[in-house]
Amino acid sequence: MPLDTSTYSLALLRLDGRRWNELRRMHAQISTQPTADGSSYLEMGNTKVICTVAGPAEGRKAGGGGGTGGDANAMVQVEIGIAGFSGVDRKRRARGDKRTSEMQLTVANAFSNTLFTHLYPHSTILITLYVLSQDGSLLAACLNASTLALIDAGVPMSDYIAACTSGSTSSYNNNDEAADPLLDLNGTEEQELPFLTVGTLGAGEKVSVLVMESRVQAMRLEGMLAVGVDGCKQVKEILDDVVRRHGKRILLERVKI
């Protein structure tokens, strides 16, 4: 589906009416699954992800999916299940899908460096992500949902991993001088424009995840990254708010009893 980006230069409004630096509606809940050690539900626009965390527990030795960590540290395993009904067209992904396993590995790497895995030797932390609906920023949504679920599970970590995407209005071919960077691309924009996913540690400038799969002029990269890191700050605020509200609710329930 070709996306008409030419109107952007006229009103500086994107297809869904946002400006270049606006996030989509982000909504999250934690402790949604009573049977899991930690769980969360996250919406970024129309991208909806459920995350459950099992562990830290004695691990399964032969496990599929992306896994990292040695014997002295806890192993972080990630499984991503993309539901057949999640896209516009129904598409069933096989278990060993390349894109999925790459995302699994990215999430596993990010968290094995952020979690205090040395506290749990010989154990496994299994993060399972269910993608219910996808409309861009899939990896970012997975990272944010995992952060929340891991917090719910009480796994110590140095800081939140907050992630979002950023892109550029100029495609690789038409070298447009006045191209603007864009924050938080939706599904249609992602198909058309170059974009990257950036995840930062907390609200600082420490980048822990940076994934880019499309071609872009090198000079655009700096602007995109700056906008992305800025977006991560906003995302971190939202995630933090979710955690604090949940904590407050639990404390109030305790008081009542």
Partner 1 sequence: MPPSTLLSPSELSYLHSSLSLDLPIRPDARSPTTFRPLVAETDLLPTTNGSARLCFADGSEAIVGVKAEVERTIGASSTSSDVFARGEDGDGDTKMQSAEEEMNEERRRLARGKGQDSWIEVTIDMPGFARDDDGVVVFLAQMLQEGLVADEGLRDRLWIGWGWHWRIYVDILLLTTPNSYPLPLLSLTTHLALLATRLPAPISRIDEDPLFNDDWDAAEPLYPPSGSAHASKPPFTLLVISVEDNIFFDPSREELAVADAVCAVTVGTIDAPVSSGKRREGTPKLRLLSLRIIDPPARLAAATSGTEAEDDQGAWRPARGGMKRAVVGKMVKVVLEVGGVGEEVMTGLEGFHDG
Question: Interacting stretch for partner 1, rule CB under 8 A, among 82-90, 113-121, 142-150, 242-250?
Answer: 82-90
Q: Which of 12, 13, 84, 119 binds partner 1 (CB under 8 A)?
A: 84
What is the C-alpha separation between 161 and 232, in angstroms, rounded?
Answer: 9
Q: Number of residues in contact with partner 1, rule: CB under 8 A? A: 29
- Closest to partner 1 by CB, 83 vs 203, is 83
- Closest to partner 1 by CB, 50 vs 224, is 50
Q: Does 86 bind partner 1 (CB under 8 A)?
A: yes
Q: Please name which of 72, 44, 76, 47 lies closest in space to residue 59, comparing C-alpha atoms.
A: 76
Work out how close the CB of 46 gets to partner 1 at its nearest, in angstroms, rounded to a whole number.
6
Q: Does 87 bind partner 1 (CB under 8 A)?
A: yes
Q: How many beta carbons lie within 10 A of that of residue 192, not counting itself?
A: 18
**Edge-to-edge strands of the sheet including 75-82?**
26-30, 38-44, 47-58, 123-133, 75-82, 66-68
What is the C-alpha separation between 61 and 15, in angstroms, rounded?
Answer: 48
Work out how close the CB of 237 gets to partner 1 at its nearest, in angstroms, rounded to a whole number.
26
Work out how close the CB of 142 gets to partner 1 at its nearest, in angstroms, rounded to a whole number.
13
Q: Which of 22, 130, 203, 226 binds partner 1 (CB under 8 A)?
A: 130
16-55 positions binding partner 1, by CB under 8 A: 33-36, 46, 48, 50, 52
Question: Interacting stretch for partner 1, rule CB under 8 A, among 131-139, 214-222, 230-238, 249-257?
Answer: 131-139
Q: How far is CA 109 from CA 12, 204, 256, in A?
A: 37, 19, 41
Q: Please name which of 59, 58, 57, 78 lies closest in space to residue 67, comparing C-alpha atoms.
A: 78
Helical segments of the chain, H only: 8-11, 98-114, 138-153, 187-192, 218-256
- Closest to partner 1 by CB, 134 vs 208, is 134
Contact between residue 72 and residue 118 where contact means Cβ atoms under 8 Å apart: yes
Contacts with partner 1, residue ranges (CB under 8 A): 33-36, 46, 48, 50, 52, 79-81, 83-90, 92, 94-95, 126, 128, 130, 132-135
